Structure 1
Amino acid sequence: MKLTRPRSAIALALLTSLAVPFGVLQAQPRPEPRPAHAQEVGQSESAAAGAETQQDHAPAPLTFGLAGPYLAARMAAVESDFRAAARYFAQAVAHDPEDRYLLDSALVALVSAGDIGRAVSLSSDMESDGRATELSALIRKAELVHQGNWQALLDQQSADDAEELRRDDLLDRIVNAWALMGAGRASDALSAFEALAKNPDVAPLVNYHLALARAMVGDYEGADALLSDEATGAHMLGFTARAEVLAQLERRDEAVAMLDGVQGIEAEPQLQALRDRLASGEPVAFDVVKTPADGIAQVYLTFASALASSPDPEPLSLIHARLAAWLSPDTGEARLMVAQLLQDRHQFDLAEPEFDALRRMGQMRPVAELSRIDALSRADRRDEAEKAALSLTAAYPDLPQAWIALGDLLRQQEKFAQAVPAYDKALTLLSDAPEQARWFPLYARGIALERSGQFDRAEQDLLAAIEINPDQASLLNYLGYSWIDRNVNLDRALTMIQKAVELSPGDGYILDSLAWAYFRLGRYQEAVAPMEQAIGTMASDPLVNDHLGDIYWMVGRKREAEIQWKRALSLDPSENDDVDPDRIRAKLDQGLDAVLADEEARGESPTVPQPQAEAAGTPRD
């Protein structure tokens, strides 16, 4: 489906004045906040002021009525702020109600924000006024499904066929088959599914829906024959459907064995609960789909998944997921997809109600929760992330990944002593796990222990992690630098850092560590090259600039040292816990020699940074 492009002259002029794509529809993982187009807005305002002078105070065409809300809507769209985009596009539509592009944009924003009611109302108006688009037709059909108005939906599909609008539209064809089921024409529905399944390219998808339809009419043998094909039923909803079908056939042992063979079932509470009910002899009904509307919701969900997972993510994935969740609010997979798509766009406030619904339904998914925790952390919403991690450890106390996630969050907030027990719990749970599953929590606990002043324990963990994973650059760097900092195991420490550089030659943090190790060992000339390489990759890091200044001073390049210290100060070193702005100012006033002498006289060790860690979830990520 393609959105209608703008047709009015004003909308076209506005569209060509902006260099960014229509952001509401861009499915980008973890988008970075983008700056508002202040210059463009300012230029428009300036042009308007000039026009008022030259045209007797008449407003310029591009700023009268439509331009303001349109530009605001575009900015909100680029940032995936769907609520704001919906509000501003609605204002733009009020100024130009004939422009199908603006109407489609308003629909996208409304559905994405979860305001399906207003989207349905706008779609109905568009149809009544002869301004329908493919998107408004999709929403209108979903409304007919929601109402259970199957005959009207079939009539609409027939009208589309007569106009030859979508003869090859798979989604419409499957929806039509389900509508036949809703209208009480089960034989016609099954025949429609079977005809579609003759196309080998789409047979697995169609056969899945055919299996659901067969089960709804009581043909459980036929449903099982279809679902037992891995191409048709080897997915979460397929496993659930087949297990329920087998229960109706009194083949519970077979259903339990099948579910036991599902990889990762322990992280799928719904499947685990179904398995336990089957094993205990409790009643199990077939309710993967209770109504044809549930079947159509799964159609939309399938298309949402395909659109979201394509190499170039299709923008309508969130639209289909939202419609699926609206048609079948008890389908956890639909709510989860909505939540994850919103999370990918950093719309956490819109995603949270969907995650809450999953928790109320008893369908909290550990993998999804871990993804949510990570996304919240990366968005600097660490209080929320920590609460989510605590909830996950409470719900799944035997899940080591939950404790690792909690430890990482605490460590990122420099709550190092509090992070240690979380890693302790994770490593206890992993005591019988393969070694490769243990190296990261050992490394992470080693960092937390070292930062909380327990270096003996930290050293044991770091050495154990290196024994498991001897070619992990940041791990070698961390222990090597820790030894250099403590003036122990110097030769082995330097060898470790040098190996880390070989493994990750472009890593500025590790190059910084190598240079600083040479500095601490008094090998100042050797420190220059790696530190200059580090500054090449991290020119805006005040710590690296400060280090380079110290090294330049020690090799007699004092003017260059002062330039680097001044640059470090200009980069707001107060934001970096490893940089002391007052010490940099003292070096500029007195020179590094005098500062070191004063520190020695006071019995202080020279100020050195903490070792840098470049593993996932570490403070310097």
Structure 2
Amino acid sequence: MPLAVPSFRLLSVTACLAGALTGYTLPAGAAEQASAVAPSGPAQTMSRLTAPLLEQLLVGEMELRSGNAGAAYEILLDAARKTGEERLFRRVVEIALQGRAGDQALAAAQAWRTAVPKSIEAHRFAAQLLVGLNRTAEALDPLRALLANTPAADRPATIVLLPRLFARASDTATLAGVMEQALQPYASIPETRGAVLVANGRMRLLANDPQRARALAEEAHRLDPTAEAPAILALELLQTQPAAEPLLLSHFKAKPQSGALRLAYVRSLVNQQRYAEAVTQLEQATQAQPALAPAWLSLGALRLELKQPRDAEVALRRYVELSAPQAAAAKQAAASQPGADTDDDSDEGEAQVTLVSPAEGLTQAYLLLAQAAEDQRDYLQAELWLAKIDSTQNALSVQARRAALLAKQGRQREAREMIRATPERTPEEGRAKLLAESQLLRDLKNWQDSYQVLATANERFPDDADLLYEQAMMAEKLQRLDEMERLLRRVIALKPDHFHAYNALGYTLADRNVRLTEARELVRKALELAPNEPFIIDSLGWIEYRLGRREEALQHLQRAYQARPDTEIAAHLGEVLWALGRRDEARKVWREGRERDGANDVLKETLARLRVSL
């Protein structure tokens, strides 16, 4: 029975329900009718919405708000069929999905396809729903219709992105076959051939067939070495198919300006601790695109990690030059438009890289520049860099850096008080302050006080695996080896995937030249959890050396040193080379290590024990 409500009242209720109605297109021709009865104001945009149909829509929405989703679905689906309005069909599909009624959502999508056969969105919904309902083979028809109705100019991009619609599919093997059938008509067309290869490759990756995926990516790359889509697929393959890496390098050679993709590759290299290669890529990125600010920031951070503060400073100053104007402009825009949405929605077809905002990047750069100046003992310049930071979110980082400057000038008590005086608004900030103080003392080689701070932290935050690990490291420095082992085994019990704990315990046993078989098993467990971590590979090499397996030790240590030319790894590698009679090579490695960190205790002890003068 129709609602006995005047039409102007209906229009008012419709306005109140705007959040639920998701912007129906009102019929042309009703605007004049509405203007005769509605209050004065902006003209309403109408479509084929008659008064009875409007009542039907309102009843459907009211049923939904009353919790009767089934009735709302039926009422609004009937209205969608009558009008052929795509927004109405979309609304019905959403109602069914919100109610976890997959079959009803599919029925609405199929009705939508029938009513609007050229609707790309209707075909997409139908295909996704069929796959989600494990009726994958039936998805072929809507996929074909989706592609057929896509404009030719948009088809390559649509094809490349198609697999993303089915990232959560369960029957991926069947889906890969269905996709190949749907794409077959476009596989021989020059404009879409590369896109088809990439789409099929990504589907094969989803179907756990990475070798086939790599072969398809390589074929697409041969068609056009400058195309980013095959290179992005190669990047996705790196974890399981290291042989895909040459494709990436070939793409960068053909298209040096692939900045976003190269930064994503750098992130992968850093995750694998392949710092030297990451630096090479960043240097090439900055040469090809000198205005690519994020590359300069990453290059500075890596140079600093590799104990190259002068080179780090050059890169970081360049980042500041590029980013300071952007940060100022962003700050001014935010001030003039408070609450504005500043999210940057990237194209899904491009390499996705998480980048900090210019303001956040500047804060990071100033902190890193302060550290670079500190490493060069230019404490005044370090303080000047810190003074540029006005971010309250980084208050502890700034104070910890300032405290380090004081400590290096012999003002340890003031340094500790500076960290303790930092405001503590949450338990997490309290924990961070204790860690910062312990790290300060550790850097000063004040092992006893650092240990005591961590013991206090573990009383305040019991069963915190990371705090226990840090305390174990200080126990080792104090030669409390039984306590160190007890703490590390507690860490492993609390957090079985804490690979640092396995590695630390195994390495310490090896360094004491005891329980070497057990030490090797511990380090191998760590390596299972973190296969490319250079310090764990170094530990394994050191254990092999202790076991008298010098050639095996050399292989591990060379791999570790190539990935990360750290001074401690250099000390171990040099000793193995020395024992093998390759003394010129040993001296070369030791000299490289000394150039990076001449104060390193392991290197100094090694040279003194072997009575080697460089």
Q: TM-score range by the shorter chain?
A: 0.3 to 0.5
Give the TM-score normalised by structure 1: 0.38
Higher relative contact order (CA 8 A, sep 6+): 1
